[in-house]
Structure 1
């Protein structure tokens, strides 16, 4: 569920997941070369989100952000045992990537696990192969995932009640567009449709 509150000329985006709110301030920036492409920009500039990370690829190799973000990439933080939200969102991302493929633009979908206890490289491979042939799955230690999540200001928390094997995870649901030379440039909310996402991503790619 998402709520919006107007504060002066700025807008505060509140993503409420599992009773916990994560805040991203959005405001205009006349010096931003991508200004015409953004629905919003992050307070403090796009450089306030994203950054270096070290994780483990679905192949089992340790990789850094430099190894992963070699082309425009669409990042999503979730977990393979997610019963509904993650499959829906990741499928939407994959559809947007396919639309861009048809237009001649290559974007890599990336799935970053927030559940290292269960999301082994093998589990990620099965999940990503079902979602998109070019989707890359990333996992890692609890510390590595926490650092990557902190860089993108995402939220996640294991639900301690219920079945210890089939537990659920509360988590934020943004998708992040990251460019090799620019870093993070835009985020997408859940209600953005595949065609809308593809249109906005294409705008950024045309300005690269």
Structure 2
């Protein structure tokens, strides 16, 4: 009987230790995810060919959008609306910054992306670079992006991109603070940017 009791106590201690360790791991991961900067380190190309890293998303709150220049509706609409919201919330350009990251680096070279974004806004900077490095960043920021052939019979032909259509909002430390959904009510979007600017 004593042996059985001892075995049961040992089992209880082992289970309690395992549960404690699991809880510790989950808590630590959650705190890191919530308390630390969003995304992953990267080294890509920004406006005018200048190097840009994740450090660009520090110092000021950031609106971050992922899209591509061949996008027929979502991307140009989002860029146009975001530019208008930024002008409304931060007319003197001192409180907020914004970036447009390509999910189609094969076609969106830094030069192509610069021209595209400049046609819509002087408030938003493009980010591109080598395809593998761009897609590492895209995945690291938990953005869905997938190439879709326009003709299933010709998979190597023209294509479009399915991608996350939300604007990510990061605080001045680069921490995730929410999103603005595609098609969201403009008044709500403006309020979210105002709250982001206030910190």
What's the TM-score once normalised by structure 1's chain length? 0.69
1:202 lines up with 2:191 in the alignment: no
Moved over 6 A (4+): none
Cα distance change of structure 1 residues 141 and 51 upon mapping to structure 2, 3 Å threshold? same
Cα distance change of structure 1 residues 100 and 165 upon mapping to structure 2, 3 Å threshold? farther
Q: Choose 1 or 2 for highest CA Rg.
A: 2
- Following the alignment from structure 2 to structure 1, what is the Cα–Cα distance between the partners of residues 121 and 194? 19
- Following the alignment from structure 2 to structure 1, what is the Cα–Cα distance between the partners of residues 120 and 64? 14
8 Å contact from structure 2 (residues 83, 123) kept in 1: no
**3-state DSSP of counterpart to 1:45:** helix
1:181 lines up with 2:170 in the alignment: no
1:192 lines up with 2:184 in the alignment: yes
State the partner residue of 2:52: 63
What's the TM-score once normalised by structure 2's chain length? 0.72
Alpha-carbon distance, 1:96 to partner: 1.3
- Following the alignment from structure 1 to structure 2, what is the Cα–Cα distance between the partners of residues 48 and 61? 22
Aligned pairs for 1:1-208 (under 5 A) are 45=34, 47=36, 49-102=38-91, 106-162=95-151, 166-206=158-198, 208=199
8 Å contact from structure 2 (residues 69, 113) kept in 1: yes
State the partner residue of 1:38: none
RMSD over equivalenced CA pairs, Å: 2.4
Paired residues in the alignment total 164
For structure 2, the 5+ residue unaligned runs are 1-32
Quick check: which one's helix share is greater?
A: 2
For structure 1, the 5+ residue unaligned runs are 1-43
- Following the alignment from structure 1 to structure 2, what is the Cα–Cα distance between the partners of residues 196 and 145? 30
